[in-house]
Structures are given as C-alpha cells and as structure tokens.
Amino acid sequence: MNGSTVGVIIPVFNGEHFLAEAIDSVLAQDHHPIEIVVVDDGSTDRSAEVAASFEQVVLLRRANEGPSAARNAGVDRSTATFITFLDADDRMTPGRLTAQLQHLRGHPEVGCVLMHQELVLEPGMSVPGWVRPFTEPDELVTGLMVSAMMRRETFLDVGGFDPSYRLCEDFDLLFRLREAGVEMEFLPAVGVLRRIHAGNASHQIGAVREAMVRAVRERVERMRMTPTRSAR
C-alpha cells in the first residue's frame, strides 16, 4: 500500500448484507491508488468473509470495541496522507475522493472537507427525526463525519475518535476539531449515500440523546478549563 494517497476506513459489525456495496462504491472512485481498510469489529456473521473476498482490501479482525476504536485501528493500519471514512451500510458517490482531495491539496490551510449526505430509505423505513440535511460545516448533524476527508495529521492531532463513545462519536470529534481551530470547509455536493434501515444503531433514540448530551457537557467542561481558546 506504500505510495497510496487516500485511506478509506470502513468499520463493520454484522454488516454482511451491505458491505460489498460499500466496498464497490470505493473501488468505483476515479482516484487511485486507494487504501481500503475494513475493520471487522467482532462480527458474528460473514462480514469478514465478504471483506476478504476483495483482493484490494486490507482486513483487520478485532474483538468488538465499537466503531470509534475500529476507525482508530484502521487509521493506525493505513499509511495514507489523507483519511476518509465510510460506514459499511453506506456508499460513496462517484468522484467524491477526487473532489475532496483536490480541495485539500489546493487549500493547505484546510484540515477537513465535508460534503452533503443523501438518505436512501430501505423499504418500510422513514426519515428518522434526528436526521436533517446540512448546508454548513458547523451545523451539527449526526453522521456528519461519514462525509468528511481530513489530513492524517489533523485526525491524529486531536486524538482521533474517543473509543468510549459507541454513539454520537461524530459529534465529539467535530467538537474537538473546532476547539483545536481546525479549518473546515464544505463542498456543496453529495458525497455519501446514507442507508436508513432497521439495523441502524442510531435508531436507539434514548441512547443517542444521552450520548449527545454527554458530548455537549464534555465540550463545555473543556471550554471551561481553557477559557482563552476560541470555540469557532
């Protein structure tokens, strides 16, 4: 994988039904070479077998520790300069990697680039109340980081995902990026097709709300401890 530019990290937990589509959407990108690191987070289904069937994929198998720890492990395995993430039940839109990479290369002051998400409803599903479109990079939207590409050093400088979060880890990471003064920009195009199905962990409304409150509370505490830092 030496010399690759973009690393795509895909955590999976019992996602055998959708994983191949996610990987295919990365392989269909017009930017190459790409590192694809699939991190099997203790699946009990055929997720690991699906990932291993792609010769272009590096597969890491781990005990279940949640998506944050899985993504961090994928970044550790990757050698890429630019990092992006994809959930195992989502798909990238064509041209996403090229658009984001060109923007980051052309704007060295920018640490993270975000894009739109488009919801894909499985039969019988409706749009969850916690999901809404976003038009600005500082609007807080669950799942925001599935549309992001960032410089590797940016991700590492803020400590990556907090593995103690199993839900709303995106909120926590976004908060810490903003607190660190990372410049984030928004490309007004769809970068990820986000599948809404019965197995989405974020349907756990009570747990999602609790995790969001925790992320906000911890952010307030950090700001209290560092009052001179701008919260942009």
* CA atoms of 179 and 118, how far apart (whole Å): 28
The whole-angstrom distance between residue 208's C-alpha and the CA centroid of its chain comes to: 17
pLDDT in tens, 35-48: 999 999 999 999 99
What sign does the CA torsion over 73, 74, 79, 82 have? negative
- Order of strands, sheet of 184-196, starting from the edge strand that comes earlier in the sequence: 57-62, 34-41, 6-12, 82-85, 149-151, 112-121, 184-196, 91-92
3-state secondary structure 22-62: HHHHHHCCCCCCEEEEEEEECCCCCHHHHHHCCCCEEEEEE
More confident residue, 16 or 127: 16
pLDDT at res. 127: 61
* CA atoms of 219 and 58, how far apart (whole Å): 35
Query: What does the pLDDT average to over 51-78?
Result: 96
The overall average pLDDT reported for the chain is 84
pLDDT at res. 134: 46
Structural domains of the chain sorted by starting position, each given as residue range(s) with its CATH number in brackets: 6-225 (3.90.550.10)
More confident residue, 116 or 198: 116
pLDDT at res. 81: 94
Q: Is the model's pLDDT at 131 over the cut of 60? A: no
Give the closest residue to 88 by CA, choosing from 160, 132, 36.
36
| Nearest 10 degrees: Cα torsion 7, 12, 18, 19 | 40
pLDDT at res. 205: 64
pLDDT at res. 13: 96
Q: Is the model's pLDDT at 53 over the cut of 70? A: yes
pLDDT in tens, 206-220: 666 776 767 777 777
Query: Is the backbone peptide bond immediately before 33 cis, with ω within 30 degrees of 0?
Result: yes
Q: What is the value of pTM for the model shown?
A: 0.81
More confident residue, 83 or 146: 83
Token digits for 6? 């973009």
